[in-house]
Amino acid sequence: MKQFYFSLYIIIFSINFTWAQETTKDSVNLTQNMVSLSESDMTFVKRLITLGDSLFFELNQPDEAFKYYLGGYDYLAEDPTLNMKIGQCFLASVTEEKSNAIPYLLKAIELNHEKHAPDVLYYLGQAYHFDEQWDNALIYYNKAKVNMAKNELRKINKRIEEVTYGKKAYSEIQKNIIIRNLGPQVNSKYSDFCPLVDAVEKDLFFTSRRHEFRSDNPDIRTHLSENIYFSQKQDFKNWSNPQPLKDPLNYDGHTATVSISMDGSEMILFREGNLYISYREDTLWTKPKKLPNTINSVYVETSACLNYSMDTLYYVSSNEELSMGGLDIFMSVKGDDGRWKKGKSLGHIINTEYDEEGVALSRDGNTLYFSSRGHDSMGGYDVFKSTKDFQGNWSKPVNLGAPINTPHDDVYFMMRANGRHAYYSSSRKGGYGEKDIYRITIIDHKKELSIAKKEIDFLLLDKDSLNTSFAPKDIDHLKEVRETALNATVDLLKTIFQVSTSKIE
């Protein structure tokens, strides 16, 4: 009977682990007044950890593995391996701040006095890297490098280069830039990305991996499909509640925004590893048509953009026969017959051995914006720009720098025609979910500002600084009832367990 009650208690506890622990960057606070366990009970706790291992390492579900790891953490808090696994979960999570890994990884190192495995040192370097603690990141990356296997050296050397550039970029942070999160009206706790905005910034199309009226677990990432959502601007800062577009754009599989023509009449979208195009007729969109095989291939084509005259297409492909590595940027032009010619790589000036993604053009077609994990990225995807000369040659890409770029993924950058505003998606700190959509305003240095006529060096309006009374979209109307019932059940089980323990003793 005792085993049954304890098992039930642990299961409920693991499902609502946030009730038990609070995490800060400096320490891990354990639940107060936890009872000691018998050997058989500890066996059950260890089974929870085994379930977490299966979810994390076999099914790639870190946000689910959390519930099992943290469910048993109070009883295994001195286990360096478990501390490292929880740190890894934070680093891989799509819903949690990655910097929350720091205290667990520090504790894993503290507990393992005799030998510090290069893996845990590397993970701690990553956590500091994501938290923009450049000096600490360099310290632990270099410590990890000492005993790192030869086949891992290339990876860690790349991370050290990223941190070195990030430290420099943050010390030279650009002035007169405002980056504003579009807020909970648009962004969710899921991944919201690839914003497409019309010429007057009234209509917004974007891709989201959110659930709609789901009865299963919405936090299982493999269950979530990509769909296109639509929102309209209500006033200076507010957008309408996004709605998923209906057939024929969205369907049962993945459908994602890619680009929209400057007049808003054509949309390129992603489906099943290929690029499609749809045309706007009044307020409706036509059935998407697959682009020809001169562009699509047996590989994956992920993003694209058209120039203003709609006769040149830049697109991203994983074509192994022509790629320098991973995803590369290609270009196709329309022939006199109106058909797209076979795409050609933009070459080593633009492409790298790493991935390029999210290609976009300026209105005049002479500036190419794209994201890359190569070049001098400070971590993940950074946004770069390259300009074309009169002979059609592209210049060496320039990193847009901080505060636009971060150690996280910054991608799908879309510059407005006025050159003063841009939209992009970023997984930077302070967001609502895995990726959020942001609006960038570049203030003219030569003009006086209306805001008290003083210079703005850099302003980031994230979820914590946005003053809004907007109600979240994902409302659980029974949340309060569930929490009350859960707390009552936990209290009852703790009492039963303590009584049964005293009787046995």
**Strand order across the 410-415 sheet:** 410-415, 421-426, 436-442, 177-181, 458-461
- Residue % of the chain over a pLDDT of 70: 76
Mean pLDDT of 345-364: 95
* Residue 216 pLDDT greater than 50, yes or no: no
Q: What is the pLDDT of residues 299-313, one digit of tens each?
A: 999 999 999 888 999
**Which pLDDT band, with edges at 50, 70 and 90, does 448 fall under?**
very low
Cα–Cα dist 373/367, whole Å: 19
Residue 180, pLDDT above cutoff 90:
yes
Encode pLDDT of 138-154 as tens digits.
Answer: 999 999 999 888 899 99
pLDDT the model gives residue 312: 94
* Cα dist from 503 to 2, 3, 491, whole Å: 11, 14, 18
Per-residue pLDDT, 8:
41
State residue 179's pLDDT score: 94
**Both tokens of residue 107?**
């504790």
Output the average pLDDT for the chain. Answer: 82
pLDDT, position 378: 96
pLDDT digits (tens, 9 = 90+) for 123-134: 999 999 999 999
Mean pLDDT within 361-381: 95
Cα–Cα distance, 441 to 420 (Å, whole number): 6
Stretch among 91-100, 457-466, 493-502 having the lowest mean pLDDT: 493-502
Question: What is the reported pTM?
Answer: 0.81
Q: How far is CA 287 from the centre of its chain?
A: 30
Query: pLDDT digits over 387-439, tens only?
Result: 999 898 999 999 999 999 999 999 999 998 888 899 999 999 889 988 999 99
- Give the mean pLDDT of 86-98: 90
Strands 328-333 and 312-317: antiparallel
For 342-358, what is the mean pLDDT?
Answer: 95
- pLDDT attached to residue 373: 97
CA dihedral sign of residues 317, 318, 323, 329: positive
Contacts of 470 (CB under 8 A, 6+ apart): 183, 184, 185, 238
pLDDT at 94: 82
Question: Does the pLDDT value for residue 69 go beyond 60?
Answer: yes
Do 21 and 28 contact (CB within 8 A), yes or no? yes
8 A C-beta contact, residue 379 and residue 406: yes
- The total of other beta-carbon atoms located within 10 Å of residue 280's CB is 15
Question: Which of 22-26, 36-40, 68-72, 227-231 has the highest mean predicted lDDT (pLDDT)?
Answer: 227-231
pLDDT at 466: 56
- Mean pLDDT across 362-367: 91
- Percentage of residues in the chain having pLDDT higher than 90: 53
Q: Which of 66, 190, 63 is nearest to 472 (CA)?
A: 190
Q: Residues 21, 30: contact at Cβ < 8 Å?
A: yes
Q: What phi and psi, each to the nearest 5 degrees, are found at residue 473?
A: -75, -40
Rg of the chain on CA atoms, in Å: 25
Indicate the pLDDT class of residue 200, thresholds 50, 70 and 90.
confident
> What is d(CA 14, CA 7) in angstroms, rounded to the nearest whole number?
11
pLDDT tens column, 7-39:
444 444 444 443 345 555 566 665 544 556 566
pLDDT of residue 24: 56
What's the pLDDT band for 215 if we cut at 50, 70, 90?
Answer: very low
Q: What is the mean pLDDT of residues 68-97?
A: 90
Predicted pLDDT of residue 328 = 97
Sheet strands side by side (includes 243-244): 192-197, 203-208, 227-232, 243-244
Kindly state the helix (H) or strand (E) to which residue 164 belongs, with its residue range: helix 153-171
The predicted pLDDT at position 5 comes to 42
For residues 130-143, one letter each, b for 16 or more C-beta atoms within 10 angstroms of the residue's C-beta and e for the rest, the string is bbbbbebbbebbeb
Q: Which of 383 and 391 is assigned the larger pLDDT? A: 383
Annotated domain spans of the chain? 177-461
Query: What's the pLDDT score for residue 471?
Result: 41
Domain 177-461 indexed as CATH 2.120.10.30:
yes
* Residue 43: band (very low, low, confident or very high) from pLDDT cuts 50, 70, 90: confident
Q: Which residue has the higher pLDDT, 486 or 67?
A: 67
Q: What pLDDT is recorded for position 214?
A: 44
Is residue 378 within 8 A of residue 426, CB to CB? The reply is no
pLDDT band at 362; cut points 50, 70, 90: very high
